[in-house]
Amino acid sequence: MRIYFTILALLTLNAAIAQNIKSEDVQYNYIKLPTNPLNPKPVNYFSSVVSSAEAENAKLKAKYEADKIQAENDFQRDQVDYQAKVKAADEQYAKDMEAWNSKSTAKKILERELLNENNKPVKAYVPQPSRRYVYEPKYVTAHDVSTLASTYLKLDGFDRVQGSDIMYLVEMGVFEHSEPRVVSEIRKETRSANGTTSTYDVAYYHLEFNYRHPMTVKITKTGGQELYMNAPSQLNEFKTYKSAESKSSPSTDISILVKTIEAQVLKENLEFINHMVNDRMGFEVSKRKSSLDYVKTKGEEYADVNEAYDAATMAFTMMGKTDDQAKAKLQEAVSKWTKALAESEPENKKARIDKNVTISLGFNLLEAYFALRMVDEAEALIASQKKLDLSKKETKLLETYTQDFIDLRMRKTANNL
């Protein structure tokens, strides 16, 4: 009987200690420090876009008008030449007829039989001149540059004010694309009929062309002092569009398709530049995706750990809205997780804070440290986590946090924090 109760007590203890660690995704906004902050820090900036489309269209328009004038001048000159050519043809015809009429009938018959053709003179044909038609050019797309600047070029952490000391300028080239070409590929396919299988060739087609929309960004101060300039290679290199494959040859009329791609590329390129500028000089509001662990249990033995999880979850929800309250809530979670982690016994499988809970608490704290920019505490925790027997997935996650905090330390140093 004593043995029975001893076994029952051990089973009850093990059930109480057993942990079921769950993970939930979290997403929150945080302000990323710039790598090269403006110094002294300005109050505002003004962004603008300059497009070469207007100049290009003006050039095309000027050539079109010049070609029309040239075509009219050519027509008028041809009209004058036409009259002279008609007169010359008439005179020549008259001379030829005079010579022909002077011949005897016998000679005319003899020449006709020898040449086997009617040798009576024919007046030369002088074609009527016509105006050369000049086709209006295909103009490049012009944009509302003011709207583009106010929509896409925003330096986070500062106010956009016209007349500011800091000028944020994007110079746009024109959207370019090559002529489309149809690419074909022969593939082997099989078919079965009446119990036999045969192989045959099938042609597949797709349309492809190259495109790009180059842009350059410049940040300057009043007086022309250049703070930053970049012509990203990603925007200057041609990309290739490939249509879906089909067994029929596609149309090479890509006018509508090009307009769609052009609008998409314009948006993507401006967003790319704005992220690049904010990463360097702005205080970019970024979205961060991570996860937090909690212990699923029927008892109250992990109440402190899970209360911290609830506080952190609430804090991340509040970030970007009421940051001071969010940080206070997150500090509350950090305190509880840190206190629990002090009980860590990684080698004791029966401990409340065993290896699995220790690892989970560590990753929870690292995410909180990142949001609170607590680099020193994070580096110490990473060093201790590396001593644990981590899985491949956990090792990879720890490496990611290591790089995150290396980057964060660099940014804090650049901002004198």
Return the SS3 of 89. Answer: helix
Task: Flag whether 406 is in a domain.
Answer: yes
User: Closest Cα partner for 134 from 56, 65, 60?
Assistant: 65
Task: Flag whether 61 is in a domain.
Answer: no
For position 130, what pLDDT does the model report? 93
pLDDT at 346 over 50: yes
Task: Flag whether 189 is in a domain.
Answer: no
Q: What is the pTM of this model?
A: 0.80
Compute the distance between CA of residue 14 and CA of residue 4 in angstroms, rounded to an integer. 16
Compute the distance between CA of residue 208 and CA of residue 180 in angstroms, rounded to an integer. 6
Longest Cα–Cα distance of the chain, Å, equals 155
Q: What are phi and psi of 189, to 5 degrees?
A: -130, 160
Quick: pLDDT tens for 50-106.
999 999 999 999 999 999 999 999 999 999 999 989 999 898 989 988 887 887 777
Residues 164/149, Cβ–Cβ less than 8 Å = no
Q: Return the percentage of the chain with pLDDT > 70, whole number.
A: 94
For position 7, what pLDDT does the model report? 33
277: tokens are 């500028």
Containing 383, the helix (H) or strand (E) segment is helix 375-385
Q: Worst-scoring range by mean pLDDT, 72-81, 101-110, 350-359, 388-397?
A: 101-110
Residues 88/167, Cβ–Cβ less than 8 Å = no
User: Closest Cα partner for 125 from 98, 90, 96?
Assistant: 90
Mean pLDDT of the chain: 90
Compute the distance between CA of residue 22 and CA of residue 44 in angstroms, rounded to an integer. 45
For position 13, what pLDDT does the model report? 41
For position 10, what pLDDT does the model report? 37
b/e map of 109-119 (b: 16 or more CB within 10 Å)?
eeeeeeeeeee
> Considering its fold, how many domains does the chain have in total?
1
Q: What are phi and psi of 245, to 5 degrees?
A: -75, 150
Residues 125/85, Cβ–Cβ less than 8 Å = no
Q: Worst-scoring range by mean pLDDT, 187-196, 205-214, 391-400, 408-417?
A: 187-196
Q: What are phi and psi of 81, to 5 degrees?
A: -65, -35
180: tokens are 């489309």
Amino acid at the residue 309:
Y
Q: Return the percentage of the chain with pLDDT > 90, whole number.
A: 77
pLDDT at 278 over 70: yes
Q: Worst-scoring range by mean pLDDT, 113-127, 196-210, 216-230, 287-301?
A: 113-127
Task: Flag whether 84 is in a domain.
Answer: no
pLDDT at 3 over 60: no
Confidence grade of residue 321 (pLDDT, cut at 50, 70, 90)? confident
Q: Would you tell me how many other CB atoms lie within 10 Å of the CB of residue 322?
A: 12
Quick: pLDDT tens for 10-35.
334 443 444 689 999 999 999 999 99
Residues 343/354, Cβ–Cβ less than 8 Å = no
DSSP string, 275-344: HHHHHHHS-EEEEEEEEEEEEE-SSSTTHHHHHHHHHHHHHHHHTTTSHHHHHHHHHHHHHHHHHHHTT-
Task: Flag whether 362 is in a domain.
Answer: yes
User: Closest Cα partner for 135 from 39, 189, 60?
Assistant: 60
Give the CA angle between residues 13, 295, 379 to the nearest 5°: 115
Residues 174/58, Cβ–Cβ less than 8 Å = no
Task: Flag whether 407 is in a domain.
Answer: yes
Quick: pLDDT tens for 377-389.
999 999 999 999 9
| Of 107 and 415, more confident | 415
For position 106, what pLDDT does the model report? 72
Give the CA angle between residues 322, 281, 284 to the nearest 5°: 30
For position 108, what pLDDT does the model report? 72
| Domain region containing 306 | 17-33+291-414
Task: Flag whether 383 is in a domain.
Answer: yes
Task: Flag whether 371 is in a domain.
Answer: yes
For position 192, what pLDDT does the model report? 85
